[in-house]
Amino acid sequence: MTSADHPRLAVRSPADLIAAVPYLLGFHPADSVVVVALRGRQVVFAARGDLPEPGADPRPPARHLAQVIARQGTDSATVLGYGPADRVTGAVDAVGQALDAAGLTVLDALRVTDGRWWSYLCTEPSCCPPDGTPYDPAASEVSATAVFAGQVALPDRAALTAQVSALGGPVRVAMGRATARARRRLAALAEEADEPALVGGRSVRSAGVAAVRVAFRRHRRGERLSDDEVAWLTVLLTRLEVRDHAWERTDGRDADISLWTEVLRRAEPELIAAPGSLLAFAAWRAGYGALAVVALERVLAAHPDYSLALLLDDMLRQGLPPSRLDGWPEVAFPGVVRRRARRRDGRRRPTRRSA
């Protein structure tokens, strides 16, 4: 099953919605405020933010979250706060007020903790008892449907971050040696090329195009790239013309996400900017906003001025939907690349998520 094959999850109650949230985000939220937005009766977007620190004003982050939701063309939303009442209530109220101000209907506002949920909008003890309503996600039809369809909800956001972290041990040692060989190879290429070719960058670009082609082809066949192939690719990606070539050919396919995840995790720390940004772009295009966010966090922590990462970070913070780039890469490189054929199977993009 690919990321475009997400099943329709039938949400008929607050308990069903609570069970669905981890699969919308990709992980189980904690100390969070989550907004699940709908267009009509269809869930089209889910966004998450950290609960404000004690004593902090919850209104600025609430307004930002509401602005992100409003940009999705949605008309209603439910707000869920995960954590103790003294931290959740103010944040949920602030988000609800911001959504109201943005013209969206707030269907419900819930607090979720310790296997129980409370509604801030329901005052009927018969359906919303003061001590909360117990729920069991494992017993939900929503969870069963998602698991049967192959969807995964990681235990927490830290587990998602671990999926883009550097591999250590023998892998790190082997990649260090392979990267040293790749740097010597690039230096030799520069020495062998004649001066006009160096000025135009044609020799390096040709090597980069070949390396990108091999990486995509082999990964889509399910083959693992060798240490030398990964190292050579990461060294070449430091050249903008090579990085942009790879960017043009990166979409939201599972194979693209898998490739750039592997390259990012195996790359030497000083070479993660390009593969991490390409992973973020692929994840965002596929609707995996949370994965895109953690990839960018790793890149920007090491390379705070990397322009592509900053561009993508801004797009995510604004809540720009992936549909803005339908027709990629021609929409960004008109007259330079050919329009890609639409998917033959006509599958839709999945629900979009943001961390």
pLDDT on residue 331: 63
Write down the number of H helices and E strands in the chain. Answer: 14, 7
pLDDT on residue 7: 53
pLDDT tops 70 at residue 136: yes
pLDDT tops 60 at residue 335: no
pLDDT tops 70 at residue 134: yes
Do 206 and 318 share a structural domain?
yes
pLDDT on residue 307: 95
Do 221 and 321 share a structural domain?
yes
Do 259 and 142 share a structural domain?
no
Query: What CATH number does residue 49 fall under?
Result: 3.40.140.10
Assess contact for 56 and 27: CB atoms under 8 A: no
pLDDT on residue 332: 65
pLDDT tops 70 at residue 211: yes
Do 205 and 316 share a structural domain?
yes
What's the DSSP call for residue 225? P
Q: Mean pLDDT over residues 119-125, rounded?
A: 92
Query: How long is the chain?
Result: 355
Following CA atoms 301, 305, 307, 311 in sequence, which dihedral angle do they give, to the nearest 10 degrees? Answer: 60
pLDDT tops 90 at residue 230: yes
Separation between Cα atoms, residue 89 and residue 110, nearest integer Å: 9
DSSP assignment of 338-355 = PPPPPPTT-PPPPPEEE-
Q: Mean pLDDT over residues 172-192, rounded?
A: 92
pLDDT on residue 9: 66
Q: Is residue 344 part of a domain?
A: no
Return the minimum-mean-pLDDT range out of 7-11, 24-28, 29-33, 342-346: 342-346
Residue 197 pLDDT level (bands cut at 50, 70, 90): very low
Separation between Cα atoms, residue 2 and residue 282, nearest integer Å: 14
Do 14 and 147 share a structural domain?
yes
Buried b (16+ CB within 10 A) or exposed e, 314-336: ebbeebbbbeebeebbeeeeeee
Q: Is residue 181 part of a domain?
A: yes
Residue 166 pLDDT level (bands cut at 50, 70, 90): very high
Q: What is the mean pLDDT of the chain?
A: 87
* Per-residue pLDDT tens digits for 256-297: 999 999 999 999 999 999 999 999 999 999 889 999 999 999
- Output 248 or 354, whichever has higher pLDDT: 248
Cα angle 218-280-254, degrees, rounded to a multiple of 5: 40
Q: Is residue 275 part of a domain?
A: yes
Do 135 and 24 share a structural domain?
yes
Q: Mean pLDDT over residues 306-316, rounded?
A: 95
* Domain endpoint, select from 100, 134, 154: 154
* Per-residue pLDDT tens digits for 237-250: 999 999 999 999 99
pLDDT on residue 193: 58
Count of C-beta atoms within a 10 Å radius of residue 38? 19
pLDDT tops 80 at residue 324: no
Assess contact for 100 and 8: CB atoms under 8 A: no
Number of domains in the chain: 2
pLDDT on residue 349: 45
Buried b (16+ CB within 10 A) or exposed e, 118-129: bbbeeeeeeebe
Range of the domain at 326: 163-339+349-354
pLDDT on residue 225: 96
Residue 171 pLDDT level (bands cut at 50, 70, 90): very high
pLDDT on residue 319: 87
Highest mean pLDDT among 84-93, 201-210, 342-351: 84-93
- Output 71 or 12, whichever has higher pLDDT: 71
pLDDT tops 80 at residue 117: yes
* Domain endpoint, select from 125, 154, 183: 154
Assess contact for 175 and 231: CB atoms under 8 A: yes
pLDDT on residue 333: 58
pLDDT tops 80 at residue 215: yes
pLDDT tops 80 at residue 185: yes
Do 223 and 136 share a structural domain?
no
pLDDT on residue 11: 75
Do 208 and 83 share a structural domain?
no
